[in-house]
Amino acid sequence: MSQLVLTAVIVMFVLAPAPIAGQASSARAKTPAARGAWTPPRTTWGAPDLQGIWDFATITPMERPKELAGKEVLTAEEAAEFEKRTLEQRNPDRRDGGSQADVGRAYNQFWWDYGTKVIGTKRTSLVVDPPDGRIPPLTPQARQRAETRAEVLRRPAAGPEDRNLWERCILGGNAGPPMVSGAYNNNVQIFQTPEQVVILNEMINDARIVPLDGRPHLPPSLRQWRGDSRGRWDGDTLVVDTTNFRDPTNFRGSRATLHVVERFTRVAADTLLYEFTVDDPQTWTRPWSAAMPMTKTEAPIFEYACHEGNYGMVNILTGARAGEKAAEEAAKTGSR
Amino acid sequence: MQNKVSVLVAGAGLLLLLVAPPALAHHAFAAEFDANRPVRLKGAVTRMEWINPHAWIHIDVKKPDGKVEKWMIEGGTPNTLLRRGFTKHSLLPGTEIVVDGYQAKDGSMKANGRDLTLPDGRKVFMGSSGTGAPRDGKDPTEVKK
């Protein structure tokens, strides 16, 4: 069996050797002009026009699956197969895995909107650096923090603070910064003025207002849930630099020391290349980068006022209290 | 040619091994609903709350003794419903539905809408089973209004 897998790995590599070398580092290394001499439309004041609603739903995983080690790009056939298999795996309209897994799937397929396609470049991971497509290892302190958080989530919540920020409707799981495709609401709208850019995420409908006038970041004592963003133009690319996060804000285990640099480049009329680099010495052993092309959509963005009716949080807390009461009663009965 | 076919088959076999991680969801459903309390409820819709972060469907469930239980059923975000073409007129009060889900951990009459079907077995919310392409409209069991 292992020989068969090995054969398959070699075979897949042989099937698609040509595009790998060419596309691997192109996203970051080349200027937009070098990518194909396409010039983005301009605003009335002459800035590259990034405005509109962009859809970033994709099933391309953040990290390259271990089975695809060494393979950066899928062929069209492999991509189709990957999409088919991934969607079959994710489809909640199945009942295997026991009731624990079943309750986790929550609802049938109709409610989920994580996309059906891999990204246009057919890369096997959103991570482009390190070149192996894997997020660098966590530091020992970050591993310890992750274990502590997991332990808190496992026990019945004493209050809302024990649950994660998305369940509390404070931050959207895919809205960032940095943005990463999630289960639904994978849409962002960009507005521009000469002095500012507004990045409006559908998830939790949070708007980041990004000044472009070169002002410095807020003083270190001022910390915000989504950090403090400052923008500038680098040729036709909008660069957004974000610092001043709060400690509870947690991007894959990060802390307040998280530093995010996002790059938005319109590489075609309907494609916005979104790239980001994250660094947090308290979390990862080195900085890392990802690239996720977004697709222009004419469909509207909808409000997602998460606090409106977050009955889920009430139910989680009343469920925890009911569990405690039941345990108390069982203890009393047992001691009689 | 023969070689190329077997090569593709081997490649497909490899891809079978790539199990995607579960999709991120707004909340951990296991913290809200009890995997040890599966429920199957049949009742008439009384109203639907189109609220964020999750839609809730209210149903009246008639018990064999004639008593009526008022249940609340959780669904996903209304935004997804809108993108699928589902509107406020798609699931009207009085519609009989069958709910397959898990009861809330606090023991109240709330459950997640794991599967919602009409009495004849058609899905209330159509999700093109298995194709993963819920927007393609090819599922003949889709309930249209």
Q: Which residues of B touch A323 (CB under 8 A)?
A: 105
The DSSP 8-state label assigned to residue A248 in this structure reads T
pLDDT at B137: 39
Q: CB of A172 within 8 A of CB of A185?
A: yes
Report pLDDT for B25.
Answer: 67
Round to whole Å and give the CA distance between A105 and B101.
10
Residue B63: exposed, middle, or buried by beta-carbon count in 10 A (0-12, 13-18, 19+)? Answer: exposed
Under an 8 A CB cutoff, do B52 and A306 touch?
yes
Q: What is the pTM of this model?
A: 0.84
What average pLDDT score do residues A199-208 get? 94
Sole residue written with tokens 């972060």: B53
Tens-digit pLDDT profile for residues A86-109: 999 888 888 888 888 888 888 888
- From chain B, the residues in CB contact with A312 under 8 A are 26-27, 32, 53-54, 74
Give the minimum alpha-carbon distance from B94 to chain A in angstroms, rounded to a whole number: 22
Mean pLDDT score, B78-101: 91
May I ask the CATH class of domain B31-145? mainly beta
Of A90, A107, A302, the CB nearest to B75: A107
Structure tokens at A43: 């605003």
B68-74/B110-112 β-pairing: parallel
Chain A hits for B30, CB-CB cut-off 8 Å, are: 100, 103-104
Q: Where are the domains of chain B?
A: 31-145
Q: What is the pLDDT of residues A209-262, one digit of tens each?
A: 999 999 999 999 999 999 999 999 999 999 999 999 999 999 999 999 999 999
Task: Provide the strand spans (E) within chain A.
Answer: 52-55, 127-129, 187-192, 196-201, 207-211, 228-234, 237-243, 259-268, 271-279, 288-297
Tokens of B111: 């459950």
Query: Is there a contact between A309 and B54 (Cβ–Cβ < 8 Å)?
Result: yes
Predicted ipTM of the assembly: 0.83
- B73–A contact, CB cutoff 8 A: no
Q: Where are the domains positioned within chain A?
A: 2-25+41-304
Neighbour tally for B67: CB within 10 Å: 8
Of the candidates A109, A306, A315, which has its C-beta nearest B106's C-beta?
Answer: A315
Cα dist from A39 to A29, A42, A224, A235, A269, whole Å: 18, 9, 36, 11, 9
Q: Which ranges of chain B would DSSP assign to H, the alpha helix?
A: 2-16, 29-32, 78-83
Question: Between the CA atoms of A61, B135, A77 and A81, what dihedral angle is there, to the nearest 10 degrees?
Answer: 60
Q: What's the residue count for chain A?
A: 336
Nearest CA in chain A to B38: A99
